[in-house]
Structure 1
Amino acid sequence: MSKKSAEEVRVILNTNKHGDTEDLQHYLEDLLRINTIDDQRAFGITKQIIEEGPRDLSDNQLHVFRDYVLENFHTEECDRCGLNVPWSEMLEANDDGFCSYCRHMLEKND
């Protein structure tokens, strides 16, 4: 898989594809709370997104965020239904690849 360009990262962060900016900020707060972001630059950029939103990030900041946060903690689509995973479901989706509905259906069938 090729790395996303700064513009593609901007689209992920600035559209409602996975939920609104508030959902994104809550998700990033969760990542910081559970100490998942080791790179100090990515940690600072994540805090900046939480406090100010993602709109004013430079291309360099977007590349760092992509390399240390999105590539490790972003599930684009559910592996079962193919729909976009909302930010509010992203932590669990990073573990198993499923949206909450599909996870529920799979657990129900077990």
Structure 2
Amino acid sequence: MGGAMGHNDHMEDDGFNDFLQEVLNGESLEKATEGITKLVIDKGVNSLSEKQRYVFKRDVLDVYTIDGCTRCESPVPWSEMYAATDNGGLCNYCWHMSEKIKHE
């Protein structure tokens, strides 16, 4: 990967594609959104048309991403993002701590 980084290029790294694959594996996306998500995995966000980008943001990013952990407010890495949308918005550490407390 050479050249200057664009605004959305950070999404292509840091487990973003693995996160998208988890969303796909959840089989809750509509067919059109599924196709757009597969395109992002293959070619990146910058390959999308304006309309596809809107659908991707609305149906994937707005639904499956959170700004930060609801407990410690730390940023949630892409590798933990899908799980966080399922566990009340907790990063792995806070989720683990809350589970530990429940079972003591």
TM-score class normalised by the smaller sequence: 0.7 to 0.9
> Could you list the per-position Cα deviations for residues 41-88 of structure 1 after superposition, in whole angstroms to 9, with x for gaps in the alignment?
221110011111222323222111011111211122110111111111
| 2:34 maps to 1:43 | yes
State the match for 1:29 in structure 2: 21
Aligned partners of 2:95, 2:14: CA distance in 1, in Å? 24
Q: Which of 10, 14, 24 is 2:9 aligned to?
A: 14
Query: Across the two proteins, how many residue pairs are aligned to each other?
Result: 96
Alignment of 1:51-66 (within 5 A): 51-66=42-57
| 2:81 maps to 1:90 | yes
Q: TM-score, normalised by structure 1?
A: 0.75
Structure 2 gap ranges (5+): 1-5
Deviation at 1:22? 5.6
Structure 1 gap ranges (5+): 1-9
More moved, 98-107 vs 53-62: 53-62
Deviation at 1:15? 2.4
Q: Give the number of the structure whose alpha-carbon radius of gyration is greater.
A: 2
Q: TM-score, normalised by structure 2?
A: 0.78
Aligned partners of 1:22, 1:107: CA distance in 2, in Å? 26
Identity of aligned residues (%): 35
Aligned partners of 1:47, 1:22: CA distance in 2, in Å? 17
What secondary structure, in the 3-state scheme, does the structure 1 residue paired with 2:45 have? coil
